[in-house]
Amino acid sequence: MADKLIADLIALNQRQAAEFVDPGQAAQRRRYRALHPTRITVMKCMDGRVNMALLTRTPVGIIFPLRNIGGVFDLGWPALEMRLTEFVDDSIRLGVQNIIMTTYHYSAGSAERGCRGHSYDVERSKQSSQQLVEQIEFVFGHGHEQVYPIMVGVETDAEALLLHGRPRIIRNIGF
C-alpha cells in the first residue's frame, strides 16, 4: 500500500513537471494570469497529498507553494518574512493583490493519515494555521488591501478543501 502511494505520488510529480515545462502550458499560465491577476501563495505541509494545483484544478504554476514540515511557519523567521515581503512588493509593482493560504491537513478516516508534523493533532494544526493568518495580518495589515490571508483545511481522503472565514462586524452606517 505505501509503495503504491509513493509510486503514485512520483508519477503525479513527473506528469506535473512535464506539464509545467510544456510551452503550450506556459502560454496558458500567462493567459490565466492575465484573466485572473491575483497572486496566490499557499503555505503548506510537505506532504505530497496537499497538492493545491490538483485540488483546485488550476494550471500548474499558478499557485506558488511554500512548504515546511507540518505546515509550520513563523514570520519571525527573517528569511521567510523577507521572501513574503519581496513577493508582496513585486505584486504591488505589478498592480495585483495577493491571497496567502495557510493550510492544515487531516484525514477524516484515520488520524494516522493526517499530519505527522503536528503529531496527528488536527486542533494543533488548525491553531498553527490560524496563528500564521494572524502574523500575516500583523505584517501586511488587517484591512486586506494588498494581502488577504485565508486559512484552508485539506481533508486528504476526499480531497476536499475547507475555507475558514471570520465573522465581520458590520457597523451602523446610517440606514
Domain locations along the chain: 37-164
**What pLDDT is stored for residue 58 in this prediction?**
86
**What pLDDT is stored for residue 167 in this prediction?**
58
Q: Concatenate the DSSP letters of all residues of 3-28 into one string.
A: HHHHHHHHHHHHHHHHHHH-HHHHHH
**What pLDDT is stored for residue 174 in this prediction?**
46
**What pLDDT is stored for residue 168 in this prediction?**
56
pLDDT digits (tens, 9 = 90+) for 81-130: 999 999 999 999 999 999 999 999 999 999 888 888 889 999 999 999 99
d(CA 100, CA 152): 10
pLDDT digits (tens, 9 = 90+) for 25-64: 889 888 988 998 899 999 998 877 788 988 998 888 899 9
6 or 91, greater pLDDT: 91
d(CA 82, CA 88): 10
Which residues of 79-136 form beta strands (DSSP E)? 98-106
d(CA 111, CA 113): 5
Say if residues 80 and 87 touch (Cβ distance below 8 Å). Answer: no
pTM exceeds 0.85: no
Q: Which residues lie below 8 Å from residue 34, measured CB to CB, with a gap of 6+? A: none
**What pLDDT is stored for residue 78 in this prediction?**
94
Lowest mean pLDDT among 6-10, 88-92, 144-148: 6-10
Write down the CATH superfamily of domain 37-164: Carbonic anhydrase (3.40.1050.10)
